[in-house]
Amino acid sequence: MGVQHANEQVRWRLAHPGGRRRGNVRGALGGRRADARASSCELWSPAMAPAPPPAASFSTAEVQRRLAAGACWVRCGARLYDLTGFVRHHPGGEQLLRARAGQDVSADLDGPPHRHSANARLWLEQYYVGDLQGDPQGSMENGASDSANTQKTDPAMGPKLKVVDWDKDLVDWRKPLLWQVGHLGEKYNEWVHQPVTRPIRLFHSDLIEALSKTVWYSVPIIWVPLMLYLSWFYYRTLAQGNVRLFTTFTTEYSVAMPESVFPGLFLLGLFLWTLIEYLIHRFLFHMKPPSDSYYLIMLHFVMHGQHHKAPFDESRLVFPPVPASLVIAFFYVFLRLILPEAVGGTVFAGGLLGYVIYDMIHYYLHFGSPHRGSYLYSLKAHHVKHHFAHQQSGFGISTKIWDHFFHTLIPEESHPKMQ
Ligand SMILES: [Zn+2]
Ligand SMILES: [Zn+2]
Ligand SMILES: [Zn+2]
């Protein structure tokens, strides 16, 4: 059924060339969404690109040569993908993907164990390099047969087209994105949640562009010394023995705060951070901007949208120091206002460490390869699903406890029966 439907779409597109270029792309995306349940990655391609670009083709020997040189190429039917640059980012693990070098991964995309999301399949198309010459049945690796081959040889499918055609994206990637996203209107929300592998350019000015980027290690370099200084300072203040809680209500029953309470207050700050992290991610970063507000869309894109659009843009993953210091200063002032100086300061120092740990974990979840079965592995799986398929759940980064608490955990894979 899925194949039939896709074929119809191809014919329709071919019969209506040129018209409504942008609309076509969007329509095609919608069509692909509807076909997302179809089992072959092949179905994606024709609907996406109305004008077929000339596709490169590779002989089995050529592909073998590249594999022997260490490249990681896989195929979906006859379509070839060079995943060499992606293998270490593969959410399901690098080894899993490397073990399939040279093979047809159509079945693996469907799982079990994992049914890859619509966005994961679109992601794959970014690595399309061309087609395998001749009959794909003569596989690159002996014995790797392909159940979906009938589709590949269907003449109605036409030439294999490259899905990701940057010229036909809704934005012009050669220009700064910041001024374009607001124009996307109601298309923004879908667009921003379709991740791409390319880096983002936000500003015209090279200087401002450079200032808008942050290397991951600037976070510990800037904030850990401050956290240590504050910890030392407030520990000493507590040690002087003059700090008491609740003095504003009563002097008789106020509670002494000796230095022995320091670890508890510090841990309280760490714990409170995890809640703040959850609340900010859920209610601020994932606030849906009104489609008619150019500037709110822009704001959303700067705050978090860009990270969903380009999850592997490492220069835009951690918080830049300037906006971070505004948020951090806010929490500092707030805690100092509601608690005695040394108490609020100690809780703050713990929260600051929580923030640093959060940003480092977030970076690691995107670029690290935690061992299967480890805590970080489960966090990574959780976060990858947040990015690729369940953007309205799975908001915890450094812990999932608040997702448990607020019932926003991403459901475990149910291994649906294959058709
Ligand atoms: Zn995978
Ligand atoms: Zn992320
Ligand atoms: Zn998010």
**Which ligand is the nearest neighbour of the Cα of 395?**
3
Residues of the domain holding 317: 206-405
Is the pLDDT at 412 greater than 60? The verdict is: yes
d(CA 152, CA 196): 26
Last residue of a domain, one of 168, 184, 217: 168
Average pLDDT over the chain reads: 78
pLDDT at site 248: 67
Residue 92: the pLDDT is 76
The verdict on residue 180 lying in a domain is no
Quick check: 93 and 8 in contact, CB under 8 A? no
Give the whole-number percent of the chain exceeding pLDDT 70.
76
Residue 244 backbone dihedrals phi, psi, to 5 degrees:
-135, 150
- Asked if the model's pLDDT at residue 302 lies above 50, the reply is yes
Choice between 130 and 223, residue whose per-residue pLDDT is larger: 223
Question: Does residue 196 sit within a domain?
Answer: no
How far is residue 350 CA from its own chain's centroid?
A: 27
Q: Are residues 225 and 124 part of one domain? A: no
Do residue 286 and residue 384 come from a single domain? yes
Distance in angstroms (rounded) separating the CA atoms of residues 240 and 234: 10
Whether residues 155 and 232 share a domain: the answer is no
Q: Which residue has the higher pLDDT, 241 or 188?
A: 188
Same domain, 134 and 233: no
Predicted confidence band at 246 (pLDDT cuts at 50, 70, 90)?
A: confident
With CA atoms as reference, report the closest residue to 9 among 52, 45, 41, 55. 45
* CA–centroid distance, residue 394 to ligand 3 (Å): 8
Q: Are residues 162 and 271 in the same domain?
A: no
SS3 303: helix
Contacts (Cβ under 8 Å, ≥6 apart) of 328: 223, 352, 355
Ligand approaching nearest to the C-alpha of 116? 1
3-state secondary structure at position 178: helix
Residues 54, 60, 65, 68, Cα dihedral to 10°: 120
Banded model confidence at residue 168, pLDDT cuts 50, 70, 90: low
In a domain, 136, yes or no: yes
Q: Is residue 419 one of the residues assigned to a domain?
A: no
Within a domain: 190: no
Confidence of residue 112 (pLDDT cuts 50, 70, 90): confident
The confidence score (pLDDT) of residue 211 equals 87
Contacts of the segment 133-142: beta carbons below 8 A, 24+ positions apart = 133/57, 133/58, 133/59, 133/60, 134/59, 134/60, 136/75, 136/77, 136/78, 136/104, 138/60, 139/60, 139/103, 139/104, 140/60, 140/63, 140/64, 140/67, 140/73, 140/75, 140/102, 140/103, 141/102, 141/103
ipTM: 0.89
**CB proximity list for 121: less than 8 A, separation 6 or greater:** 36, 41, 44, 109
Q: Looking at per-residue confidence, does 22 or 164 come out higher?
A: 164
Ligand 3 geometric centre to CA of 280 (Å): 10
Instruction: Record the tokens describing residue 244, joined without a space.
Output: 């008491």
Least confident of 142-151, 197-206, 393-402: 142-151
95 falls within a domain: yes
Q: What is the pLDDT of residue 259?
A: 87
Q: Is there a contact between 48 and 86 (Cβ–Cβ < 8 Å)?
A: no
The kind and range of the H/E element at 263 are: helix 262-279
Residues 82, 74: Cα–Cα separation, whole Å: 7
- Binding positions for Zn(2+) are 281, 286, 304, 307-308, 362, 366, 383, 386-387
Helix (H, G, I), strand (E, B) or coil at 69: coil
373 alpha carbon – ligand 2 mean position (Å)? 20
Q: Are 120 and 126 in contact (CB under 8 A)?
A: no
Q: Give the three-state DSSP class for 82.
A: strand
d(CA 114, ligand 1 centre) in Å = 7
Is pLDDT above 90 for 298? Answer: yes
pLDDT of residue 141: 47
Q: Helical H runs in 155-261? A: 178-181, 188-192, 206-211, 218-239
pLDDT digits (tens, 9 = 90+) for 183-213: 988 899 989 998 888 888 999 999 989 888 9
In angstroms, rounded to a whole number, what is the distance separating the alpha carbons of residues 105 and 85?
17
Same domain, 225 and 271: yes
Cα separations (Å) of 356 from 173, 222, 353, 398? Answer: 32, 10, 5, 10
How far is Cα 383 from Cα 388, in angstroms, rounded to an integer?
A: 9
- Please tell me the distance from the alpha carbon of residue 272 to that of residue 269, in angstroms, as a whole number: 5
* CATH number of the domain within which 146 lies: 3.10.120.10
Q: What is the mean pLDDT of residues 242-268?
A: 83
Question: Which of 383, 364, 369, 368 shows the shortest CA–CA distance to 219?
Answer: 364
- Distance between Cα 306 and ligand 1 center (Å): 23
Distance CA 332, CA 277 (A): 16
pLDDT for the residue numbered 160: 38
Query: How many residues are recorded in the chain?
Result: 419
Of 119, 139, 168, which residue sits at a domain end? 168
Residue set of the binding site for heme:
90, 116
Query: Ligand 1 centre and the CA of 113: distance in Å?
Result: 10
Residues 233 and 376 in one domain: yes
* Residue 42 CA to ligand 3 centre (angstroms): 29
**Of residues 388, 393, 417, 387, the one with CA closest to residue 407:** 393
46-60, 73-87, 124-138, 172-186: which has the minimum mean pLDDT?
Answer: 46-60
- Answer yes or no: do 273 and 373 share one domain: yes
Total domains in the fold of the chain: 2
In a domain, 390, yes or no: yes
Give 108 Cα–ligand 1 centroid separation in angstroms: 7
pLDDT at 165: 63
- Please check whether residues 94 and 218 belong to one and the same domain: no
Residue 44 has pLDDT above 80, yes or no: no
Question: Are 265 and 333 contained in the same domain?
Answer: yes
Instruction: Label residue 166 by pLDDT band (50, 70, 90).
Output: low
Boundary-marking domain end, from 168, 187, 216: 168
Q: Is residue 302 part of a domain?
A: yes
Query: Per mean pLDDT, which range of 228-232, 253-257, 283-287, 317-321 is the poorest?
Result: 253-257
For residues 240 and 98, membership in a common domain is answered with no
Q: By the 8 A CB rule, do 354 and 401 touch?
A: no
Q: Do residues 139 and 246 share a domain?
A: no
